[in-house]
Amino acid sequence: MWANSGSPPSRRRSLNADLINLTTGSVAEFNKIEPMIPHIGDIDVMFHWSTDLAIPAGYPPPTQLPDEFHSYVDVCEIVDSHLPGYVYMVLRYSLTECTDDGKYNAVETDQTGCLSNRSTVDGFDESNFHGPALLTVRRDRLLSYDDVPCIRCLVWPSQAADWPTRHRNYDWPDSATVDRVVSNGCDVVCVAHRQYRQDDRMRERQWRLSFSRAEIVLINSWMPVQQIVYHMLRVFMKKLTDSADNSKAGKLSNYHIKTLMLWACELKPKHWWTDDLNLVRICVQRCTLWLIG
């Protein structure tokens, strides 16, 4: 049964639900670059409702939540799909906070359908969405904002269970950073895989796991030279994309650069970045691996 379920906007309004924001993207990643404004294209902000929570499938409902959450919370299970990184959401529990001890009591729901990914964007003009993001422009037009609605998951998901323990030759990220990443959990954003975006049924049922919180922690653990290389590669990519024709421009993105750098930091020892320091050489080697890979 494929049915829309979950918290309707009227329930959120009646509970005076709050929106909880997290700044991500360039602003969070380039906080060591000054001045910052010339190096960012927009401001990325993820937000989740204080009445919604996600947990991995089979995980017990929580009895305690951070203060940012409401006294009444709907809990969805993250159900794996056949596509890596993409999931379904099923409403499983309703939580009510006990005023005596601050703990939450859970009641299991009888929902069997998948939660519509449009449930998080009700009340917003969907014509301004591109992918999972809602584009807004400030009045002064100096910067635009990409607002990404999501559902918060406080637990590291089973879909990425191998990441914390996989073998790393050069101890990056170190154990303290890995622990911090895992403790932040993840988010689930309302966008379907591209092969389903023309399918009226599937495009509203599928969600994508987001590890933006993890990326912020990892990037801010880099050495200065690694952050500079990342910034230079992004500038190079933007120049290349701006000069390309439209048929090729869509093949390059900041996400490619970020993924490349994160892998490079795992695969290369610290001395590779610091011995005989030559930023141009490093960037050329990273771009070469990227283009031929």
In the chain, % of residues over pLDDT 70: 68
Model pLDDT, residue 248: 47
pLDDT band at 251 (very low <50, low <70, confident <90, very high): low
Model pLDDT, residue 21: 85
How far apart are the C-alpha atoms of 265 and 230, rounded to whole Å?
A: 11
Query: Do 29 and 138 share a domain, yes or no?
Result: yes
Query: Do 185 and 68 share a domain, yes or no?
Result: yes
How far apart are the C-alpha atoms of 82 and 201, rounded to whole Å?
A: 16
Q: For residue 103, give its domain range.
A: 9-196
> Does residue 91 surpass a pLDDT of 60?
yes
pLDDT tens-place string over residues 189-206: 988 888 877 766 777 788
Helix axes 279-292, 254-267, angle to 10 degrees: 110
The answer to whether position 217 is within a domain reads: no
47 touches 20 (CB < 8 A):
yes
Query: Do 19 and 107 share a domain, yes or no?
Result: yes
Query: Do 21 and 65 share a domain, yes or no?
Result: yes
Residue 280 or 140, more confident: 280
> Does residue 126 surpass a pLDDT of 60?
no
The answer to whether position 216 is within a domain reads: no
Q: How many domains does the chain have?
A: 2
pLDDT tens-place string over residues 70-83: 999 999 999 999 89
How far apart are the C-alpha atoms of 140 and 244, rounded to whole Å?
A: 29
The answer to whether position 210 is within a domain reads: no
Query: Do 158 and 100 share a domain, yes or no?
Result: yes
The answer to whether position 107 is within a domain reads: yes
Average pLDDT over residues 204-218: 92
50 touches 20 (CB < 8 A):
yes
